[in-house]
């Protein structure tokens, strides 16, 4: 998959994500950033706030997920897409699954810490099959979007550290083409999935998340 095979709106949101990551660098953060859209419309964005807040849980994805739930007044983000400069880590991946994000698009792959490449949380069907009242089907995953731009953002933050990151393969670019994997069965959402999504949001969430 080449950059031309990513949809134009997805590229635009990833460009916004990379730009936001660079603004985070100006505040002393590493260039991790996340943008969330819903049905093609911008919802919210966040860069890493680990250094700013002195809190290791303040990853860009976690901050953005919290903001999206407040903005949309729901804990179910099944019709949302999350864009991130780097594949979400295991912590963020679990939050993505519990908030039911429908799609995840990232620039760089994370073979050491990634919630997809290393830990397989993002596409683990065991969560949704054992606890369908809480977890929806795994999101669609696309890696490699604007990966060169993301690499440049990291390289610009600290060239020597980035050299070490590349040498140890902590973050890698999909140089042989972007990787895509759908955790959702079929090409669309079937009637059973729609019914379960409705039941989770309208009925079950009132008991589980009230």
- Does the CA dihedral 32-128-197-190 come out positive or negative? positive
Q: Could you tell me if residue 40 is left (phi over 0), alpha (psi between -120 and 50 degrees) or otherwise beta? A: left
Q: E-assigned strands of 11-163?
A: 33-38, 41-47, 80-86, 103-108, 140-143
Choose the catalytic residue: 15, 29, 45, 61: 61
Residues 46/27, Cβ–Cβ less than 8 Å: no
Q: Are 61 and 41 in contact (CB under 8 A)?
A: no
Question: Taking each helix axis from N to C terminus, what angle separates 147-157 and 159-167, rounded to the nearest 10 degrees?
Answer: 130
87 noted as active-site residue: no
Active site residues: 61
């Amino acid at each position: 998959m080449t950059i031309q095979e990513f949809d134009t709106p997805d590229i635009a949101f990833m460009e916004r994500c990379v730009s936001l990551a660079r603004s985070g660098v100006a505040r002393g953060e590493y260039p991790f950033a996340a943008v969330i859209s819903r049905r093609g419309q911008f919802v919210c964005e966040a860069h890493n706030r680990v250094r700013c807040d002195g809190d290791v849980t303040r990853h860009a994805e976690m901050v953005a997920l919290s903001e999206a739930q407040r903005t949309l007044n729901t804990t179910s983000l099944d019709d949302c897409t999350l864009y991130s400069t780097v594949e979400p880590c295991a912590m963020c991946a679990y939050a993505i699954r519990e908030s039911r994000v429908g799609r995840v698009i990232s620039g760089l792959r994370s073979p050491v810490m990634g919630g997809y490449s290393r830990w397989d949380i993002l596409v683990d069907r065991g969560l949704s099959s054992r606890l369908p009242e809480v977890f929806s089907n795994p999101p669609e995953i696309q890696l490699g979007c604007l990966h060169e731009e993301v690499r440049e953002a990291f390289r610009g933050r600290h060239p020597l550290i980035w050299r070490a990151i590349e040498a140890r393969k902590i973050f890698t670019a999909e140089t042989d083409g972007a990787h895509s994997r759908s955790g959702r069965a079929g090409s669309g959402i079937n009637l059973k999935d729609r019914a379960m999504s409705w039941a989770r949001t309208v009925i079950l969430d009132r008991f589980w998340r009230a």
